Amino acid sequence: KCRTGPLDIVFVIDSSRSVRPFEFETMRQFMMDIIGSLDVGPNATRVGVIQYSSQVQNIFSLKTFFTRADMEKAINSIVPLAQGTMTGLAIQYAMNVAFTTQEGARPLHKKIPRIAIIVTDGRPQDRVTEVATQARNAGIEIYAVGIQRADMNSLRAMASPPLEEHVFLVESFELIQQFGKQFQDKLCGVDMCVEQEHGCQHSCVSTPGSFYCECNPSYRLNVDGKTCSPIDACADGRHGCQHQCVSAHGSYSCRCRAGYYLNQDKRSCTMIDYCSFGNHSCQHECVSIPNGHYCRCRSGFTLQPDSRSCRANDLCNGVDHGCEFKCVSTEGSYRCVCPEGQQLQADGKACSKCGAGHVDLVMVIDGSKSVRPQNFELVKQFVNRIVDLLEVSPHGTRVGLVQYSSRVRTEFPLNKYHSADEIKKAVMEVEYMEKGTMTGLALKHMVEHSFSELEGARPLSHNVPRIGLVFTDGRSQDDISEWSRRAKESGIVMFAVGVGKAVEEELKAIASEPVEQHFSYSADFTTMTHLVENFKLNICPEEGKGETEIRSPCECEALVQFQTNTVAILQSLTEKNILWARSLAQMTARLEDLEKQIANKK
């Protein structure tokens, strides 16, 4: 057996018509004799066999078999091709296919020799010089074995240097078995790890004419190529430990900080719930923290000096209750009330406001690469400010959201959420798409899908206004004219909002008539707050007749404005009445003095 280290060997066997059947049998035996001298296995020498004539056939690759018995069985089953002699084609196949890692060759950095043994009996019918040079430059060591009629010049053109060690010419097929024994010695060579002082700290691996050092598992070879150092398994940052990574013996384990325990995945940590021990004595709520806990009172209560008990507060005087009109304290809590004629909203704080009545609103936002992640967060905040204007409910305003770039994605349809809080939460969870700006495709999606009854749009017979708001920051990469027109023809009132490099002509093409009321522009994402007010004014329109402004008492801020004006007028009248009363009293007093003076004179 060879005493050298592992090899990757591929036999390239000529099975052209010039090789007679009994001659091919001697080539079979040659291969099996060589394999018999090798230590084969997945971590030892790997062997592959290909045969060629006018074409190339893979018999088995370097990853197919790892026992001599399996290899010999496959070699005995070879059926010669019996055609031409395309040796150059066979070398190219060996280089491009047989010696690839996909076919079982070990990576080049492992320094395992790649050896091709070409056995042929004739002159190649194609060019071999150039392709053989490429194969040698790719790290393949080529042995050229010619039998009987082989061309010596072709053998020399194929083989690796030095030629006297890589070119062999056997006079007849009968002598190939005897040659095989000599070739084994040439291939195996001497065990350099035994013959000289290698200096390897852990282990030495012999190769033909040389050697290299290897380290034990959990160690890496140092730059000197001989000594080894322990591998810090935590250093590459791929350990996945949530808190701390501890390296040991080439592996690692995860460890949690004090106050936490390691989960079953052996990576993530969970804080110890000290409140679950049942000995906290908190009157209301217990809150766990690392290495302990503390007591917390419910809203409307204050924690007492004992840090456990709670006492009720007058929350209207003690906290920022947020009531729009008036706060009424109750035991341990409070409630908000609204003026007569207004209703408390779902948040329990605001009073009824204009909104847009009952509308179906679909917002189509640009998620292209030019927007950038930080600006996309501002876009989501812009969307939520618009939602704050609306009275969202299943029977009131419905809201849907679509994002587009090079493709279009419905983030949520009109019938998905039924409150402003649900919508705002879903908006903040939207993920940025990036890529292109296909505004026309987004308009098509909005018309065909977003305003369908299947996705929550109310039937046209219900006369619920349909509003589409398109937000973009640049020029569309497709045509927008057709689907802008179709959207408006289908009864959708279109608003266009542009920022940065948005094209005014495209915004106006999208917007409904009158265009000036249905499109807005801001030069920068950080200064687009005023666009919300523009949108608010246009979905809560004031109705004008002649020169007299007529505002419905239930629209927009009309009611609040009316109340403000009325209070101001009453205050003015009251102040005038007070001044008049004071003047009258002064005049009466003076008249009484004059009457007394006249009476005294008489």
pLDDT digits (tens, 9 = 90+) for 87-97: 999 999 999 99
Alpha helical stretches, state H, 389-463 = 420-428, 439-445
555 pLDDT tier (thresholds 50, 70, 90): very low
DSSP 226: S
pLDDT tens-place string over residues 385-416: 888 878 888 888 999 999 999 999 999 999 99
d(CA 19, CA 393): 88
Which range, 84-93, 547-556, 572-581, is most confident? 84-93
307 CB-side CA count, 13 A: 4
Which two structure tokens, joined as six digits, stand for 76? 């005995």
Between 247 and 108, the more confident residue is: 108
pLDDT tens-place string over residues 220-254: 899 999 999 888 878 777 888 999 998 877 788 99
Which two structure tokens, joined as six digits, stand for 566? 């009325």
d(CA 297, CA 309): 8
Q: Do residues 81 and 57 lie in contact, with contact meaning Cβ atoms separated by under 8 Å?
A: yes
> Each residue of 283-320: b (16+ CB within 10 Å) or e?
beebebeeeebbbebeebbebeeeebbbeebebbeeee
Set out the domains of the chain in order of their start, with CATH numbers: 7-187 (3.40.50.410), 193-230 (2.10.25.10), 360-539 (3.40.50.410)
- Name the CA radius of gyration of the chain, rounded: 45
Is the pLDDT score of 425 beyond 70? yes
- CA-to-CA dists, residue 193 to 16, 199, 203, 556, angstroms: 41, 9, 9, 92
Percent of the chain's residues with pLDDT above 70: 81
Parallel, antiparallel or unpaired: strands 114-120 and 140-147 = parallel
Task: Give me the residues paired with residue 287 across strands.
Answer: 294
What does the pLDDT read at residue 447?
Answer: 94
d(CA 221, CA 109): 12
Q: Do residues 31 and 76 lie in contact, with contact meaning Cβ atoms separated by under 8 Å?
A: no
Q: Do residues 446 and 487 lie in contact, with contact meaning Cβ atoms separated by under 8 Å?
A: yes
Q: Do residues 478 and 501 lie in contact, with contact meaning Cβ atoms separated by under 8 Å?
A: no
User: How far, rounded to the nearest angstrom, does the alpha carbon of residue 510 sit from its chain's CA centroid?
Assistant: 32
Name which of 343, 349, 456 is nearest 394 in CA terms: 456
d(CA 236, CA 232): 8
d(CA 411, CA 400): 8
DSSP 236: T
Q: Do residues 387 and 493 lie in contact, with contact meaning Cβ atoms separated by under 8 Å?
A: no
d(CA 19, CA 120): 9
Q: Which of 265-279, 359-373, 448-462, 533-547 has the weakest average pLDDT?
A: 533-547
d(CA 15, CA 12): 10
Percent of the chain's residues with pLDDT above 90: 42
Please compute the mean of the pLDDT values over residues 437-461 and round it to a whole number.
93
Residue 255: its H or E element: strand 251-255
User: How far, rounded to the nearest angstrom, does the alpha carbon of residue 590 sit from its chain's CA centroid?
Assistant: 90
Tell the residue number behind the tokens 């349809």, with chain if given.
413
Q: Do residues 432 and 367 lie in contact, with contact meaning Cβ atoms separated by under 8 Å?
A: yes
What does the pLDDT read at residue 558?
Answer: 47
Alpha helical stretches, state H, 47-175 = 68-76, 87-93, 129-137, 152-158, 163-166
Please compute the mean of the pLDDT values over residues 552-571 and round it to a whole number.
49
Is the pLDDT score of 550 beyond 60? no
Q: Which of 281-285, 291-295, 434-438, 521-525 has the weakest average pLDDT?
A: 521-525
pLDDT tens-place string over residues 168-222: 888 777 777 667 666 666 666 666 777 678 899 999 887 766 788 999 887 889 9
d(CA 345, CA 476): 40
Name which of 513, 514, 496 is nearest 505 in CA terms: 496
d(CA 290, CA 103): 54
d(CA 114, CA 105): 8
- Tell me what the pLDDT averaged over the chain comes to: 83
Is the pLDDT score of 65 beyond 70? yes
450 pLDDT tier (thresholds 50, 70, 90): very high
Tell the residue number behind the tokens 């959708």, with chain if given.
492
Is the pLDDT score of 597 beyond 80? no
